[in-house]
Structure 1
Amino acid sequence: MKEYGLIGFPLSHSFSQKYFTEKFQSENIQDSRYNLFELTDIQQFPALIRNQPQLCGLNVTIPYKQVIIPFLDDLEPVAAQIGAVNVIKFANGKLKGFNSDYQGFLQSLQNFCPDYAQAQALVLGNGGAAKAVIAALDYLGIAYKLVSRNPTKEQLSYEQLTTSLLKDFSLIINTTPLGTYPNVATYPPILYEALSSDHYLYDLVYNPAETVFLRKGREAGTKTKNGYEMLCLQAEVAWQIWNS
């Protein structure tokens, strides 16, 4: 039996287990199963590997996407560039890290925003998810500005997002956890009244399906998309990595 799984903490609401369990059933994949491995500390990772010799691949989620890297034998170039790993492949006794968030977001953005080549983007947040988004924007040649609560020379503050500036950035991507269940009332503090039908709002959050960020955007006439398709696409990329 081939075993796959997810490491992170906490794992009470796992998209991955549900997705892969349903995938195995619908595609009649009978030799594989997907489990949750909740680690309260990343130092528990080596013991997990020793105790689960049948593991063929793992997904990695918060808070371990960056701190997992020293435990791996190798990284794909994109994961090294991003500095975050969400897929681990087991092969010949070695562990290699990949980042399928990057590919999932890239494909989903192309589906959502057909005129992406002419767009400029605002990336809300500067964590690991933002790094995957930035790598995809760089690949697509989309100019962007980072927005953070703690601005620097390279990052804007939310207070700097004026009406005139927002007109110049048609693509706004939320990579923060604001609005995620159960804190569904939270949202990025931008001038939603300055948005129009020329804007595209993408939220990496998928639970709830429509965050306050997306609802306010929809009410202003923007096109909106949540992170569910990205999750599905990155999961399929992970499956391809494990079986390549």
Structure 2
Amino acid sequence: MRKFGLIGKKLSHSFSKKYFTEKFKREGILDAQYELYELPHMAGLPELLQQEPELVGLNVTVPYKEQVIPLLDEMDEAAAQIGAVNTIKISGGKTKGFNTDFIAFKSSLQEFYPIHKQSKALVLGTGGAAKAVWAALDALAIPFLKVSRTAGAGQVSYSQLSDQVLQTHQLIINTTPIGMYPQVQEAPELPFSGITQQHYVYDLVYNPEETLLMQKCAANGAKVINGLPMLYQQADAAWSIWNFKY
């Protein structure tokens, strides 16, 4: 039996096991199972691999997409450039890191958002998921402003956001876990009065399906989408990595 799974700190929000279990049943894949592996610390990965010798593939979620890198034997070139890993292939006792978030976000964004010459984005968060989003926006030639809890080199704080900033940045992407189950009554601290019908809001959170951020923005007429399209596309890309030569 081949084992696959997801590693992260807290996984009660995850749909990954349901998605892959249904995929295995639908496609008649009888030699595979997918499990959730909560790790209190990233240092627990080597022990997990020892305890589960049948593991051949892992997904990686918050907050370990960057922390996992020093523990890997090898890195795919694209993942190394992005600086974050969300997929691990395990073969011959060796681990290799990949990033399918980049592919999945770029593709799903193009389906959701009509890119034009004046496009500018706000990217909320600066973690591992944000790095894949930055790379995708660069590839699509969309200028972006990084938003974090504190201002710094090349980024602003939430308190520095204004209606004027929102007026010129009509694509908003939330890469943070704010609003994710079970903290569903939380939302990033945006000046929501500046959200209009011209805004497109992409929340990478997918549980709940409609986050408080999405609700507040939709109430002002913005187009909103959650992270499910990205989840499905990155999961399919991960499956290809695990099952074919990379």
User: Normalising TM by the smaller chain, what interval?
Assistant: over 0.9
Uncovered stretches (5+) of structure 1, i.e. residues with no partner: none
In the TM superposition, residue 82 of structure 1 has moved relative to its aligned partner by 2.3
In the TM superposition, residue 122 of structure 1 has moved relative to its aligned partner by 0.5
Cα distance in 2 for residues equivalent to 1:96 and 1:208: 31
In the TM superposition, residue 117 of structure 1 has moved relative to its aligned partner by 5.5
Amino acid at match of 1:67: Q
Q: Does 1:217 align with 2:217?
A: yes
The DSSP-based 3-state class of the residue aligned with 1:215 is helix
Cα distance in 2 for residues equivalent to 1:36 and 1:183: 20
Cα distance in 2 for residues equivalent to 1:165 and 1:11: 34
1:56 corresponding residue in structure 2: 56
* Contact 2:87/2:98 (<8 A) preserved: yes
* Contact 2:14/2:207 (<8 A) preserved: no
The DSSP-based 3-state class of the residue aligned with 1:145 is strand
* Aligned residues: CA RMSD: 1.6
The DSSP-based 3-state class of the residue aligned with 2:139 is helix
Q: TM-score, normalised by structure 2?
A: 0.93
Cα distance in 2 for residues equivalent to 1:50 and 1:168: 51
1:11 corresponding residue in structure 2: 11
1:202 corresponding residue in structure 2: 202
Amino acid at match of 1:34: Y
Percent identical among aligned pairs is 53
* Contact 2:121/2:170 (<8 A) preserved: yes
- Cα distance 1:183–1:29, how it changes in 2: closer, same or farther (>3 A)? same
1:237 corresponding residue in structure 2: 237
> 1:148-187 maps to which residues of 2 (within 5 A)?
148-187=148-187
Amino acid at match of 1:98: F
> 1:1-244 maps to which residues of 2 (within 5 A)?
1-115=1-115, 118-244=118-244
Moved more, 220-229 or 9-18: 9-18
Cα deviation code 1:109-135 (max 9, x no counterpart) = 111012256411011111111111111
In the TM superposition, residue 186 of structure 1 has moved relative to its aligned partner by 1.3
- Cα distance 1:73–1:31, how it changes in 2: closer, same or farther (>3 A)? same
The DSSP-based 3-state class of the residue aligned with 2:66 is coil
Cα distance in 2 for residues equivalent to 1:163 and 1:38: 40
- Cα distance 1:213–1:128, how it changes in 2: closer, same or farther (>3 A)? same
In the TM superposition, residue 223 of structure 1 has moved relative to its aligned partner by 0.6
In the TM superposition, residue 32 of structure 1 has moved relative to its aligned partner by 1.1
* Contact 1:147/1:158 (<8 A) preserved: yes
The DSSP-based 3-state class of the residue aligned with 2:30 is coil
Q: TM-score, normalised by structure 1?
A: 0.94
Amino acid at match of 2:159: E
The DSSP-based 3-state class of the residue aligned with 2:121 is strand
Report runs of 4+ in structure 1 exceeding 6 Å deviation: none
- Cα distance 1:26–1:113, how it changes in 2: closer, same or farther (>3 A)? same
Cα distance in 1 for residues equivalent to 2:11 and 2:157: 32
Cα distance in 2 for residues equivalent to 1:173 and 1:193: 17
Moved more, 58-67 or 104-113: 58-67
Moved more, 161-170 or 41-50: 41-50
